[in-house]
C-alpha cells in the first residue's frame, strides 16, 4: 500500500516548511502501519498554469499524475495564506480538473475518474485561522475528483487569532493536532484496505451514455 503526500508549501526544498513538519508526523504514522510513503513539494516541480493534463514543453505535471495513479492514498498538505489554501495547492486542483473531459484520466472500462477507489486526506497549517475552510474546499474538490473521504481526515494546526508562531515553533506540542493526525492516518489506511478488498463498481460510462450523450 502506498501513500502520496503532496506538500503545497510555497518554499522549495530545502527551505523550512511548517506544513512539511506536520505531514512528516503523518508519514511516521503511515510507516507504523506498513504504508510506503512518497513526500514531495509541488513547488519543486514546474507545474505550468492551465487546465489540461499536459501543458507541453517543460511541464512537470505528468510526473505527478503518474505518482497519483500509483498510490492508494493521497494526502494534500497546504499552508494557509490570508485564509485560503496556497497557490500551489490551487494549481494542482486546476490541473486535476482535466479529468472531467480527458479520457486518459478516466478508467476505460467504467469511466471512473482517477481518484476512484483511492482515499484522500488533508493536512493544513497556518499561524492564525482558516484550516476548516481549507478542509472544506479540498474535500469538495477531492469528492468531485472521485476520491473517498474517510471520517476525520482533516488534520491541522493553527495558532490563536492574529500573528504568531507557525507550526514548527508553536504547534508541535499540540495534543489535539497529534491526535487528529494519527486518527487521519488510521482512517485513511483502514478505508484504503476496505476499498482494495471491495472497490466501488459504479459505472460512469453507462451514466454518461444515459444523461450526457443523447
Query: What is the distance between the alpha carbons of residues 212 and 205, in angstroms, rounded to a whole number?
Result: 10
Which of 19, 20, 135, 166 is in the footprint of its own copies by CB under 8 A?
Answer: 135
CA atoms of 92 and 100, how far apart (whole Å): 14
Contacts of its own copies in 11-50 (CB under 8 A): 11, 43, 49-50
Main-chain dihedrals φ then ψ at residue 106, nearest 5 degrees: -120, 150
In the complex, least distance from residue 31 CB atom to its own copies, rounded to whole angstroms: 18
Per-residue cell: 28: 511516521
Candidates 56, 57, 103, 214: give the one binding its own copies (CB under 8 A): 214
Q: Which three cell numbers stand for residue 24?
A: 512528516
Output the smallest distance, CB 58 to its own copies, in A.
14
Asked if residue 94 binds its own copies (CB under 8 A), the reply is: yes
Residue 197 interacts with its own copies (CB under 8 A): yes or no = yes
Which residue is listed with cell 466501488? 200
Separation of alpha carbons 75 and 142, rounded Å: 10
Candidates 35, 71, 180, 192; binder of its own copies (CB under 8 A) is 180
The reply to whether 3 sits near its own copies by the rule CB under 8 A is: no
CB of 110 to its own copies, least distance (A): 12
C-alpha 173/C-alpha 47 separation (Å) is 34
Counting contacts by CB under 8 A, is residue 61 touching its own copies? no
Give the separation between CA 144 and CA 161, rounded to whole angstroms.
Answer: 32
Where in 105-124 is the site for its own copies (CB under 8 A)? 112-113, 115-116
Q: Figure out which of the listed residues 26, 96, 114, 192 binds its own copies, where binding follows CB under 8 A.
A: 96
Site for its own copies in 64-93 (CB under 8 A): 81-88, 90-91, 93
Q: Which of 14, 108, 109, 198 touches its own copies by CB under 8 A?
A: 198
C-alpha cell at 148: 473517498
Whole-number Å distance between alpha carbons of 174 and 180: 10
Amino acid at each position: 500500500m502506498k501513500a502520496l503526500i503532496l506538500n503545497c508549501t510555497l518554499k522549495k526544498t530545502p527551505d523550512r516548511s511548517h506544513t512539511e513538519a506536520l505531514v512528516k508526523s503523518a508519514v511516521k504514522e503511515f510507516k507504523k502501519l506498513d504504508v510506503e510513503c512518497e513526500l514531495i513539494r509541488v513547488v519543486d516541480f514546474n507545474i505550468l498554469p492551465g487546465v489540461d493534463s499536459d501543458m507541453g514543453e517543460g511541464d512537470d505535471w505528468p510526473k505527478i499524475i503518474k505518482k497519483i495513479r500509483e498510490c492508494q492514498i493521497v494526502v494534500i498538505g497546504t499552508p494557509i495564506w490570508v485564509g485560503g489554501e496556497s497557490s500551489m495547492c490551487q494549481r494542482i486542483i486546476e490541473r486535476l480538473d482535466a479529468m472531467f473531459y480527458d479520457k486518459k484520466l478516466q478508467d476505460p472500462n467504467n469511466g471512473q475518474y482517477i481518484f476512484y477507489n483511492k482515499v484522500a486526506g488533508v493536512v493544513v497549517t497556518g499561524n492564525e485561522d482558516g484550516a476548516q475552510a481549507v478542509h472544506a474546499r479540498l474535500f469538495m474538490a477531492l469528492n468531485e475528483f472521485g476520491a473517498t473521504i474517510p471520517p476525520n481526515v482533516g488534520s491541522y494546526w493553527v495558532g490563536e487569532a492574529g500573528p504568531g508562531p507557525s507550526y514548527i515553533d508553536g504547534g508541535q506540542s499540540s495534543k489535539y493536532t497529534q491526535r487528529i493526525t494519527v486518527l487521519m492516518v488510521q482512517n485513511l489506511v483502514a478505508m484504503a484496505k476496505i476499498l482494495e478488498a471491495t472497490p466501488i463498481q459504479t459505472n460512469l460510462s453507462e451514466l454518461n451514455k444515459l444523461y450526457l450523450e443523447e
